[in-house]
Amino acid sequence: MEINSKTKLFGLIGHPVEHSLSPLIHNYAFKSLNLNYVYTVFDVFPEKLEDAVKGIKALGIKGVNVTIPHKEKIIKYLDVVSEEALKIGAVNTLVNEEGILKGYNTDVYGFIDSLTEVGEKIKGKKAVVLGAGGASKAVCVALALEKINEIVIANRNVEKAKELSEYIKREFKVSCNYCSINEVEKIPEMDILVNTTSVGMYPNVEDSPVCEKVVSRAKFVYDVIYNPFETVFLKYAKRNGIKYSNGLSMLVNQANYSFKLWTGGFFDKNLVYRRLKEGITNNL
């Protein structure tokens, strides 16, 4: 594809962003559909978020994904926020309609679709979710929508875990408790253990949000991180013979919903998965 004066610009804002596979996904999808669009990344420090949002409008950037740590704080700078994103309290997709910035959240259905792809059923089970930020909220909402029996939210900041727990109980009538991430060791067993924190993400690839002993008590382990492809957290699951999944499928599925908001249609997931696997094998 030739970049010219008619090329439409899309991107990702977050901090850090150098690990992101989103450019590979979207640029390949644009190319496969012969769209004159380009997707890039913007490393935006937290104190520069408002300026970045103004820049999206000023430069006419057509659409943007939002990642850590901006998913919640960006809401106050937007013109319109979807009902779903308001309910989750986090935005991961922006659409710029002639200077009007609209915020959406595609993480919930991205997570649900990723569980469907690995054949993991949620109804009636108990889940422990590590973290209480925007990604955690999307995961907890998804679990609630899929009729989970019980959720426990574990976070370093216990007050934040308490807030999210009370929100989930109030809005979805689901049993939802909370604790410090250090207290997870006291939970005897769990059907699903999900890491929604950035602990273990590139470049801090030797870290894990919890120890192997905790992971060994789960029946299914999920890490929203996809770079590295296999985190220390997931290596613990593998070593203990536990079914596990990384966040690549969630990334692709949420990206596909973002893509539809920007273009009106979905991309071919199988083509994108194939391209991603090639890229990962060749170290991108």
Output the tens digit of pLDDT for each of the chain's 284 residues: 689 999 999 999 999 898 788 999 999 999 999 999 999 999 999 999 999 999 999 999 999 999 989 999 999 999 999 988 998 888 999 999 999 999 999 999 999 999 999 999 999 999 999 999 888 999 999 999 999 999 999 999 999 999 999 999 999 999 999 999 999 999 988 999 999 999 998 888 999 999 999 999 999 999 999 888 899 999 999 999 999 999 999 999 999 999 999 999 999 999 999 888 777 656 55
Predicted local distance difference test score (pLDDT) of residue 214? 97
The closest of 130, 137, 38 to 85, measured between CA atoms, is 137
Task: Write down all domains in the chain, each with its CATH number in brackets.
Answer: 8-105+249-281 (3.40.50.10860), 108-246 (3.40.50.720)
| pLDDT, position 283 | 54
Q: What is the DSSP string of 169-223?
A: HHHH--EEEEEEGGGGGG---EEEEEE-SSTT-TT-TT--SS-HHHHTTEEEEEE
Query: Residue 26 and residue 29: Cα distance in Å, rounded?
Result: 5
Distance separating alpha carbons of residues 241 and 23, to the nearest angstrom:
33
Catalytically annotated residue among 6, 54, 71, 87: 71
**Which residues does 106 contact at the CB level (< 8 Å), separation at least 6?**
92, 93, 254, 255, 257, 258, 261
Burial track 95-134 (b if 16+ CB lie within 10 A, e otherwise) = bbeeeebbbbbbbbbbbbbbbeeeebebeebbbbbbbbbb
71 is catalytic: yes
Residue numbers in the known binding site for shikimate are 20-22, 67, 92, 107, 226, 254
Rounded distance between C-alpha atoms, residue 203 and residue 18, angstroms = 10
Residue set of the binding site: 20-22, 67, 83, 92, 107, 131-135, 224, 226, 247, 254
Residue 90's identity, in one-letter code, is A
User: CB-hemisphere CA count at 13 Å for 37?
Assistant: 24
Q: Is the previous residue joined to 209 through a cis bond, with omega within 30 degrees of 0?
A: no
State the DSSP code for 34. Answer: T
Q: Could you tell me what percentage of the chain is helix, strand and coil, using 3-state DSSP and rounding each to the nearest 5?
A: 45, 20, 35
